[in-house]
Chains A and B, each alone.
Chain A
Amino acid sequence: MTQYTSQDYRLTEEGVQADLQRQPQLLMKLAENALTVAESLRDNYFKNTAKFVLALRKAIYLANEGQRLESPLKTYSVGDVNWSEFQDEVVTFIDGGIGRVQISSQVPILLRVGSYCVRTGERQLTKREQFGYYPVILGDLEGGSKERKDFPDIVRITAELLGGLSALERTPDLNVLMFHGPLVYLMGGYAGHTPFTESDIDLFLNQYASDPAVVNGLKEKFLHEAFVDLYPQMTDRADEWVQRRLFEPLAWISFLYRQLILVARNRKPTPLIMGVVERGELREFSERVLLERVFHGLRVKGRLDYFNQMYGRTDLKTPKSLLDKLGYTDALLMAMLLRPGEYSEQWQINKYEGLRQGNVSLPGESGTSTVNFSPLKPGGIGFPKVSGCYVHVSETTEPVRVEMFEEFGKDQLAGAARRVYLYSRLLPGYGFPVGLDIADKFAHVPAWLTDAYSKLIRHHLGVSLQRGEISDNEMRRILVQAIYMTHRDWLFRPTS
């Protein structure tokens, strides 16, 4: 006999359906899924989803009440959190923005990382708030593979990380360091970029510290680590890399993460360091934690056909297949399972699966050589382990994912979730920490600047054309298009 009360509307099928219909972002996502899943799943998609969610809610409830041994999902409440608990705290928010100019298409040209540091409860504005920004002109960099679409991203990740490190070092009493986006990205996707040169690193570090000794210290520390431990494991040409003082982007980024942890670890109390992700498409938590437990339970009970019967199929036998076929994501399931003001249990996020072998060309070289990125996986000298949880701020917004370093995460989970919730409550319609929104606006590269760059580039190209500096006919034709063509320019319509 169930022990939950009949008054708990949330634990009825109608209650679940009402919940789903009340949350517009949820309803839209489910409607979108209902149209994109296989035809055989479309009928009763909404109703079956509600049934599935109801079963999960009941299981969670019973486990919380001590009437079930295992819970598919552990949830916690942020409690009666308010600002008086977090007075005299120094919080820094970091975000990066990319400025793109319209030539014939959008071309990234400028990157700006903004930081916003605030001390809660401080009345004097000059003591209360400090803004910083770290601009990088992408064209100034020699390294990185500029032909790749993710080139601006590795520059941004590096600059954001340096911004965070700089904030931590410059603010001895920093309590919270919050990044916009994942604390660590899925690094495998960024492997294979041409290493940065020392002058590139100088450009980055120019913003990070004004003292040349500090800058050199950081560079030398990295190069020493790379020379001794890392590069020999990654490449056969380790000697040459060190000799040319090359900074392989992922190795450099992993080093910066370790530096961040090192500085934080030596602080008492340890600052909360986290990344907050909105509109995440991740489904790892659902697959590896939530549904794995569900399927385990079904296997124990011998009801592995539970989902097949519900949806009238035969292939829904694993968490992966269920998510593949039904289009559920972590954010979608968490929005249906967590109540506003609740956060999920923590899990270790697999950020480094894609770190395998790749081909890399060195600066100034056209050929490539094979590089092994697997030594960068968590261990002594690689990237740090990262764990995450979901925080549901309000009914009208998707839960946000909070990522922390595994090393600090368990102790810091509650503090991080409570702060993310409190900061996000100031933007109830957005459901995202307001400080990150401020840093985002501050880091945003304004249109007037990118427009001006765009005009300047067109002007220089135009002058080159007029002077006859570009003689290749095909190149001239492409440039004319690049300078004058817009999306709807009738002059460049196809002739046939």
Chain B
Amino acid sequence: MVAPANTQPKNSRYVGTLVGESTSREFRLAVAHETIREQDIIAVDAELRRPEQNSVTERIRVWAKVQRIERLNPLFPSEAGHELAATRTDPFDTVLSLSREMVTAVCQVLGAEPLTGSSGGKLDHLRYPPQPASSAYRPDSSDIARVVVGELEQKQNRALDIATLSNRPEVDVKVDGHAIVTRHLAILAMTGAGKSWTARRIIEQLAEKNYPMVVFDPHGDYTGLAEVPALHNRVKRYYAQFPVFEQEPEAVIRVVESLAWELSEHQRNNFEDLFKGAKSFIEAGEDDLVERKKWLSEYLQNDDIQKYGLKPNLFFLADFVSAVVRAGKTEDNEAATRIVEWSGRDNLRIEKKVAGWIEGLVGRLRAAGKALYRMERINVKVARSAQPLPVDRKELVAYGQISVVALAGYTSDFQATIYSLIADSIFEARVQGELALPALLLLEEAHNFAPARAATSAEQRAINTTKQIAQEGRKFGVGLVIISQRPSRLDETTLSQCNSYIIMRMVNPADQSFVRKVVETLAEEEARLLPDLDVGEAIVSGQLINFPVLVRIKQPKSQGEREERDAFEVLEEARSISSGQGRK
């Protein structure tokens, strides 16, 4: 391979000369001061004989990325540096030499294309190294944009415009939306690095293509999507109620114990009958339910039951248990018969003694119900003018719709449960062919939904769900976007199933090493950049892009819940409002 004649770049674009050993994967450039930055994309022109036609040479452009820049002053001994430090001496005041520096850029070869650019941005593997002493140059923005986008150039319907090159802001970086929705994407970064910003930009871009999305939002980061004019009628926000009667009795016992007090042995032994009985009691037809509500209200002399109706929550379960206890304690055969009939459980005809043993369960259920209700209220508040989750979860997936499921207010256990129920339903519906449209599930704080080790059964269930979608979702048109600030706590299998990655600033060494281990497309030099990235900067790597690049994510149109106001401005504003109210 030789450098082609008359193709050497003009001086203004020249960045350096190839020195030392050149290979088809890496070469080194001697560069002048500050002509180049790490992660810059550069090119070297060359001539290569075609393997099939030995006499014909082809002019190619070798594309490369600057992985590392080494700056060395060989005339400045480190021993002298220590002496300067010890004596607090300015090197300029001495006879030390400070002017002779060698700046060398280590470049990773990305691939090669015909010099004419006729390959449409697709880069071939380079099989022969570029010639030492060749000149490297800074390509035109349009050429860089072409190769960064690669084959996507021809498939614009799949392109998502999410970023610009970090070192060349004029170059737009478009990524392959198809790779994201079918082969999963992981957005990994520390808090405040711009994860939600990135996710919202991607959501907005996917929304332009009407892709159905379900966003699991633990902090209200995505409520602002509804305020984007273009998405106004397409974003549906749901608050999530904990579906008590969709759980196993054991799970509900744990909920009650975690929110109230521990159950006694008798209460635990009788819980399954009581829980299943209550479930049968409430799952009646409309007319029957009216009758049962009336009876229960009168029997317990509680007008609120009549007023607010029967709802599948812990308060109803408490009322039901209260009725069972009362019937047992008063040896009210008629009431017991009704309860057995409506619940389908003979065991709920209990003796007076047993009623005494389980009577304390009512208080526990009410206390747990209150705690759960508090969470639900926070959830509703954060979700802002939202509606409850539809009974039929398939309704969350609709053409052009973004369904934001607010999980704020709930503890991680409840969040995991709610998520796994919804995700399971959607995935199952796709598997069964009951849901026509594909869907993309976006999991914010994914380490809570797919942790490496499950601490509770709710988490285990969430892990299983996420793993299954990660492994089989592609076949059934269910994609995942996993967002996490603690990647090292994520399930390794789930993360490794993601074929695309957007990795942002990351300082925690455990997270960095985990990411290096799992993300195969992340080069060592790129991984070293992670702690030094700016807010909004990201390394985009994997199937969504032609080759890994350092980008700056474009601003989304929507705003997140937690990035809006200066805390001290809010304080002053609140003070002026409250003092104004005081005057009134």
Contacts and interface: CB of A to CB of B under 8 A. Distances in A.
B95 A120 contact: yes
Contacts of B100: 129, 131
Nearest to A441: B75
Contacts of B96: 118, 426, 434, 438
A477 to B, nearest CB: 37
A128 B99 contact: yes
B83 A428 contact: yes
B89 interface: yes
A83 B94 contact: yes
A83 B99 contact: no
Contacts of B356: none
Contact of B92 (A82, A123, A423, A426): A123
Interface in B72-116: 74-75, 77, 79-80, 83-84, 87, 89, 92-100
A7 to B, nearest CB: 28
Contact of B97 (A122, A126, A129): A129
B97 A116 contact: yes
Interface in A95-132: 116, 118, 120-123, 125-126, 128-129, 131
Secondary structure at chain A's binding surface: helix, strand, loop or mixed?
mixed
Interface string A440-465: 01100000000000000000000000
Given A83-B89, A131-B100, A441-B74, A427 B79 contact: yes
Nearest to B101: A125
Task: Please indicate which of the listed interface residues A82, A84, A91, A425 has the most CB atoms of chain B within 10 Å of its own CB.
Answer: A425
A91 B79 contact: no
A429 B77 CA distance: 11
Given A434-B77, A438-B75, A121 B83 contact: no
A430 interface: yes
Determine chain B's interface SS by DSSP, over half rule.
loop
Of the listed residues A84, A125, A427, A434, the one surrounded by the most CB atoms of chain B closer than 10 A to its CB is A434
Contacts of B83: 425-428
A61 to B, nearest CB: 29
Q: Which residue, A87, A91, A121, A438, has most C-beta atoms of chain B within 10 A?
A: A438
Given A426-B84, A428-B83, A435 B92 contact: no
A192 to B, nearest CB: 38
Given A83-B89, A441-B75, A442-B75, A427 B95 contact: no
A426 B79 CA distance: 7
Contacts of B74: 441
Interface in A51-90: 82-84, 87
Nearest to A88: B93
A87 B94 CA distance: 8
Given A84-B93, A87-B93, A120-B93, A125 B79 contact: no
Interface residues of A, number: 31
A438 B97 contact: yes
A437 interface: yes
Contacts of A125: 98-99
A427 B97 contact: no
A426 B98 contact: no
Contacts of A93: 95
B519 to A, nearest CB: 39
Given A128-B98, A129-B98, A131-B100, A83 B93 contact: yes
B80 A426 contact: yes
A307 to B, nearest CB: 40
Contacts of A128: 92, 98-99
A131 B100 CA distance: 9
A356 to B, nearest CB: 41
A446 to B, nearest CB: 11
A125 B98 CA distance: 7
B561 to A, nearest CB: 50
B96 to A, nearest CB: 6
B143 to A, nearest CB: 35
Nearest to A116: B97
A120 B75 CA distance: 16
A87 B89 CA distance: 12
Nearest to B95: A435
A137 to B, nearest CB: 24
Nearest to B89: A83
A87 B79 CA distance: 22
A442 B97 CA distance: 11
B95 A91 contact: yes
B220 to A, nearest CB: 54
Contacts of A442: 75
Contacts of A423: 95
Contacts of B84: 426
Contacts of B93: 83-84, 87, 120-121
Contacts of A87: 93
A174 to B, nearest CB: 13
Q: Which of A87, A118, A430 neighbours the largest number of chain B CB atoms within 10 Å of its CB?
A: A118
A145 B211 CA distance: 88
A441 B102 CA distance: 14
A122 B92 contact: yes
Contact of A434 (B80, B87, B98, B99): B80
Contacts of B97: 116, 118, 129, 438
A121 B92 contact: yes
A437 B98 CA distance: 14
A442 B99 CA distance: 13
A131 B92 CA distance: 16
B340 to A, nearest CB: 95
Nearest to A429: B79
Interface string B27-45: 0000000000000000000
B137 to A, nearest CB: 26
Q: Which of B74, B77, B92, B98 has the most CB of A within 10 A?
A: B92
B82 to A, nearest CB: 8
Residue of B84, B92, B94, B95 most packed against chain A (CB within 10 A): B95
A429 B98 CA distance: 20
A55 B93 CA distance: 42
Contacts of B95: 91, 93, 118, 120, 423, 426, 433-435
Given A426-B80, A428-B79, A441-B75, A120 B94 contact: yes
A426 B83 CA distance: 6
B28 to A, nearest CB: 15
A116 B95 CA distance: 10
Interface in B125-149: none
B75 to A, nearest CB: 5
A428 B77 CA distance: 11
B104 to A, nearest CB: 15
B23 to A, nearest CB: 19
Nearest to B90: A83
Nearest to B93: A83
Interface in A407-444: 423, 425-430, 433-435, 437-438, 441-442
A82 B84 CA distance: 12
Given A118-B95, A118-B97, A128-B92, 8 more contacts: A87-B93, A129-B98, A423-B95, A426-B84, A426-B95, A429-B79, A434-B77, A434-B80
9 contacts: A120-B92, A120-B94, A125-B99, A128-B92, A128-B99, A426-B94, A434-B77, A434-B95, A441-B75
Interface of B: 74-75, 77, 79-80, 83-84, 87, 89, 92-100
The 5 closest A-B pairs by CB, nearest first: A125-B99, A426-B80, A83-B93, A435-B95, A129-B99
